[in-house]
Amino acid sequence: MNGRKVKIDGRDYRCRLLSGGQEFRIKNDGYSGGSPANEWDRIVAGGESVAGLPSPNARTSHDKLDAVALTDPHNMVWNWFGAVSWTREPYRHKATARVCRGYHAAGYFYLNTQSHRHEDIGWRPVLERV
């Protein structure tokens, strides 16, 4: 398990990033998601239903994004439209590449160099009670 232990309001948590896969599920097809099985594809991209969270739909799973996809309940929770999230894994086939998810679709998988900085890429930490 990676991440860092933090204390908030007297309670212990682990702050970490979601796993996002280490390679393309289908070679060079970012829309197919990441491999092996990972938290991003299960939770954010809708691989399994999570009670109380909206699921992505056909309008949020392809590259023809528009205002309807932007205001879709799924994007309103996860904010992946035009925004990229780092995940915790490096890309399996290139030591300087890191896996990113989102931007073009809820489950979109692609790579950036670990030194990449831009206003549309950031961290999406999760807190786990320990």
Contact 100, 117 (CB under 8 A): no
Instruction: State the Cα angle at 84 between 129 and 40, rounded to 5°.
Output: 45
Q: Regarding beta strands 84-90 and 11-17, do their DSSP bridges make them parallel or antiparallel, or are they unpaired?
A: unpaired
Instruction: Check if the beta carbon of residue 41 is closer than 8 Å to that of residue 48.
Output: no
Structural domain of residue 73, as residue ranges? 4-129
Model confidence, pTM: 0.87
Q: Read off the pLDDT of residues 38-69 as tens digits, 9 standing for 90 and up.
A: 999 999 998 888 888 888 877 666 666 778 88
CA–CA dist 73, 56 (Å, integer): 8
Number of independent structural domains in the chain:
1
* Structure confidence at residue 102 as a pLDDT band (50, 70, 90): very high
Beta-bridge partner residues of 12: 7
